[in-house]
Structure 1
């Protein structure tokens, strides 16, 4: 794997989130048909994998970051006015496949570990309450559930932080999986207010996209891919993406 120098993550303003989303929309609007085809293929592949008996859910967790790497590659092509090809969606298996697969394994193992730990916290509190008495059982079960939710949310956010920039760091900086994951966490924590604003915006947009029978996801996925690419360039690259790419 080739290596490129990695600049230190920069701290950017939460207001940049709007610029990233605007850039994602601009990239989509410039070539909507290839993006719609890529987004439809992304959803179709994950859906078909998900219905595989017994192991479909696990393969979906494994495959999501791999296909995400393809979306990052498509966004990079769009930002540099290169032709968008559907095969690029599968670049996570075509280039640096071992590294992207390891990120997928981390996603699967992390999701399983977080779910197990949260369930263990809630079950332990409920069991302790049951041993003490009925009134204590209700109080501890409620408290245990709330604690489990807090633990699950905190660890899940940490997992998302690790996965957010990892595919781009592997693709564009030649990083190995573990450094890419830890660098992604560092960058997200350094830009925590910005990441929280972006997460809130994406949460709202996801619900809006789901209203028309989920068809809005065909637009939202390309917009998020473009926003992700713009965020990566803003925080990691030698120059901001938005002003440079606008002149291309």
Structure 2
């Protein structure tokens, strides 16, 4: 993967609304390599960040409805924090555990809005699929034909699954670059999701290959009792950051995080 040009020279370096460039499918492998390299710069801190991340997700799962809503809304905030951690490492600065919560200090409101849009669209996808399947079942029941009901249910379930899958892919592609664009480019949340969707489909080959590779890596990471995920999550954060730099170029105005609190004197 070639190094991205400087902000002044990059042809897509409009601060808030950069335009994506096209890259070859081979770049997906380079993004994963870059993610692994960023992990190796500070593996201990990254694994602590992963443990905190997973612990928060598990705890929230025990809170009905509210916990799931907080998870969906807070997910882009935590992703943005890990992106900021990658950005710090890329600039030769140390990674800190509190980078995970860096999104709360930089554009927290816009990142939360990305999460709100994520939750609403995911809910809409599930609702539409449910209506299709439920509508087919009700129609078959009213017609009183059991054979027709069974056939209708199978057809509706297949169509609902395909429709849900398409909407889910659209949602994932809209989210991929959203957090980096918000936190590194100060892009409004809805614009960031639209730009992310465009960038992913403009580079369909690269993201198709990346999706297959990530799917395989997830299964590999799950083999040692899931502990491999503690490594995979930081690697994917670095992969996201590397793909952002490759497709959109470096941020024109690097984000400024408040410095870590100094220890109290004895």
Q: Normalized against structure 1, the TM-score is what?
A: 0.91
Residues 40, 130 of structure 1: alpha-carbon distance in 2 compared, 3 angstrom cutoff:
same
Q: Does 2:15 match 1:8?
A: no
Return the match for 1:81 from 92, 95, 98.
Answer: 92
In structure 2, the residue matched to 1:178 is: 190
Cα deviations by residue, 1:145-196 (Å, 9 ceiling, x for unpaired): 0001001100001111111101111111111111111111111111112112
Greater than 6 Å deviation, 4+ residue runs: none
In structure 1, the residue matched to 2:149 is: 137
The offset of 1:33, in angstroms, is 0.6
Q: Quote the Cα distance in structure 2 between the aligned partners of 1:192 and 1:6.
A: 20
Q: Does 2:172 match 1:160?
A: yes
Cα deviations by residue, 1:198-218 (Å, 9 ceiling, x for unpaired): 111111111111111111010
More helix by share: 1
In structure 1, the residue matched to 2:260 is: none
Residues 102, 8 of structure 1: alpha-carbon distance in 2 compared, 3 angstrom cutoff:
same
Q: Quote the Cα distance in structure 2 between the aligned partners of 1:116 and 1:79.
A: 42
Q: Does 2:132 match 1:121?
A: yes
The offset of 1:7, in angstroms, is 3.1
Q: Quote the Cα distance in structure 1 between the aligned partners of 2:102 and 2:41.
A: 22
Q: What is the CA RMSD across the aligned residues, in angstroms?
A: 1.5
Greater Rg by CA: 2
Native 8 Å contact 1:7 1:238 kept in 2: no
Native 8 Å contact 2:16 2:187 kept in 1: no
The offset of 1:5, in angstroms, is 5.0
Q: Quote the Cα distance in structure 2 between the aligned partners of 1:5 and 1:147.
A: 38
The offset of 1:238, in angstroms, is 5.5
Return the match for 2:39 from 1, 8, 28.
Answer: 28
Return the match for 2:244 from 209, 215, 232.
Answer: 232
Cα deviations by residue, 1:14-66 (Å, 9 ceiling, x for unpaired): 11111000111111112111111111111111211221234212211121111
**Stretch of structure 1 that moved more, 63-72 or 224-233:** 63-72
Q: Quote the Cα distance in structure 2 between the aligned partners of 1:47 and 1:76.
A: 27
Q: Quote the Cα distance in structure 2 between the aligned partners of 1:54 and 1:237.
A: 38
Cα deviations by residue, 1:128-154 (Å, 9 ceiling, x for unpaired): 222331111111100000001001100
Write the mapping of 1:75-114 to structure 2, written as runs, cut at 5 A.
75-114=86-125
In structure 2, the residue matched to 1:208 is: 220
Q: Normalized against structure 2, the TM-score is what?
A: 0.85
